[in-house]
Amino acid sequence: MRKHRKWLVMIILAGLAALAYTPDIPADRLRERYTYSESAFLPFEGMQVHYRQTGSGPCLLLLHGVASSLHTWQGWHSRLSDTYTVVSVDLPGFGLTGPHPQGDYSEAMYMRLFDALLSHLGQDSCLVAGNSFGGYLAWHYALARPQAVKQVVLLDAAGFDNAEKTDNIGFRLAMNPLTRPFTYYVTPRFVLQRSVVNVYGDPQKVTPQLVQRYYDLILRSGNRQAFATILNRLHQQRTDPDTLRNLHQPVLIIWGAQDRIIPVDNAYKFDKILPNSILTILPAAGHVPMEELPGKTAALSRQFFEDAYEQQQP
């Protein structure tokens, strides 16, 4: 009886999916809409990796989270390019870059990408900041390349509590084995809108234009499948605290107290384990503080970079 009920549910879901099918948006059309004047593309492992470079000075590499794009760092580009070479990148699986041809979303692949990007830009070292999944990659890169990564900013970074109990509807659908296949082809706009509202501390800051950008870019060919794959892979990871104890570079931890994806208690876990960290909690912010409070987070990071640089001088 239970088996029959499961098949009945599957048939109903399949019928609803057929009615609600949401087609992909071709990459070329999205490029016309979402590239910047400073946008460029790096050939890498069969992909054209979209990145943006502004300003001059020490290199600052910016890494976004799942279902996001380099556009989340616009506020930092405009505020920090007077002092830094600010480089944001659409990570493989997201944004205009799109999926990896072989479906390789391992940490090793992302490390190779960052090496290739820095080499392409003629940079032998960098500061790195990452949000959520991008924060997870940021601290992995700092561990993998301790000579190249000088300082790190973690904004609501993944690594400990991987949010299995999140109430973000888009995440829950992508992580549920029963509904996951349907998320490859069905993406109601209201679901995406609820997911965006869920990551902000102040829902009033979520504009129709913001929702449209997230919606368009998740519909880039192959991105929905990549999103589900990466999200589920990330949620299966478990961080060994001893690993983080080997990260000796200066680290600034910024966390939104209203984060409903990766709760704020994770900030204290990072701060307790990392040997050289500073913690700042933003009471009004949610999961994407650099997008919600770009002025505050950019100013905090600038001060951190300057202070850490002075302390590192002989």
Q: Tell me the per-residue pLDDT of 62-89, one tens digit each, with 9 for 90 and over.
A: 999 999 999 999 999 999 999 999 999 9
At 232-263, the pLDDT tens digits run 887 777 778 789 999 999 999 999 999 999 99
Going by C-alpha positions, the residue among 111, 116, 119 that lies closest to residue 142 is 111
Lowest mean pLDDT among 107-111, 157-161, 296-300: 157-161
CATH number at residue 268: 3.40.50.1820
Q: Where are the beta strands (DSSP E) in 16-78?
A: 39-44, 47-54, 59-63
Paired tokens of 182: 């349907």
Task: Specify whether the CB–CB gap between 88 and 52 falls below 8 A.
Answer: yes
Sheet holding 251-256, edge to edge: 39-44, 47-54, 85-89, 59-63, 126-131, 149-155, 251-256, 277-282
Residue 13 predicted with pLDDT over 90: no
Residue 26 belongs to a domain = yes
Which pLDDT belongs to residue 231? 81
Going by C-alpha positions, the residue among 127, 132, 104 that lies closest to residue 44 is 104
Residue-range definition of the domain harbouring residue 57: 22-279
Which pLDDT belongs to residue 182? 65
Rounded to two decimals, the pTM is 0.90
How many other CB atoms are there within 10 angstroms of residue 179's CB atom? 15
Which pLDDT belongs to residue 9? 46
Residue 63 belongs to a domain = yes
- Mean pLDDT, residues 179-203: 84
Which pLDDT belongs to residue 161? 59
Residue 164 predicted with pLDDT over 50: no
Residues in contact with 142: Cβ distance below 8 Å, sequence separation at least 6, in sequence order: 128, 149, 152, 247, 249, 251
Going by C-alpha positions, the residue among 89, 114, 132, 109 that lies closest to residue 46 is 109
Q: What is the CA radius of gyration of the chain?
A: 19
Which pLDDT belongs to residue 128? 99
* Mean pLDDT over each residue of the chain, to the nearest integer: 89
Residue 218 predicted with pLDDT over 80: yes
Confidence of residue 123 (pLDDT cuts 50, 70, 90): very high
Lowest mean pLDDT among 34-48, 98-112, 165-179, 276-290: 165-179
Which pLDDT belongs to residue 165? 52
Residue 121 predicted with pLDDT over 60: yes
Task: Specify whether the CB–CB gap between 289 and 254 falls below 8 A.
Answer: yes
Residue 54 belongs to a domain = yes
∠ Cα 266 70 78 (to 5°)? 100
Residue 60 belongs to a domain = yes
Residues 133 and 158: their CA atoms lie apart, in Å, by 6
Q: Count the domains in the chain.
A: 1
- Mean pLDDT, residues 211-238: 88
Residue 168 predicted with pLDDT over 70: no
Residues in contact with 96: Cβ distance below 8 Å, sequence separation at least 6, in sequence order: 27, 30, 31, 34, 35, 50, 69, 90, 217, 220
Residue 73 CA from chain centroid, whole number: 10
Residue 9 belongs to a domain = no
- Mean pLDDT, residues 94-106: 97
Confidence of residue 227 (pLDDT cuts 50, 70, 90): confident
Pairing of strands 47-54, 59-63: unpaired
Task: Specify whether the CB–CB gap between 246 and 221 falls below 8 A.
Answer: no
Residue 209 belongs to a domain = yes
Residue 234 belongs to a domain = yes
At 135-144, the pLDDT tens digits run 999 999 999 9
Residue 293 belongs to a domain = no
Lowest mean pLDDT among 75-79, 145-149, 164-168, 274-278: 164-168
Residues in contact with 50: Cβ distance below 8 Å, sequence separation at least 6, in sequence order: 35, 39, 40, 41, 70, 89, 90, 95, 96, 97
Percent of the chain at pLDDT exceeding 70: 84
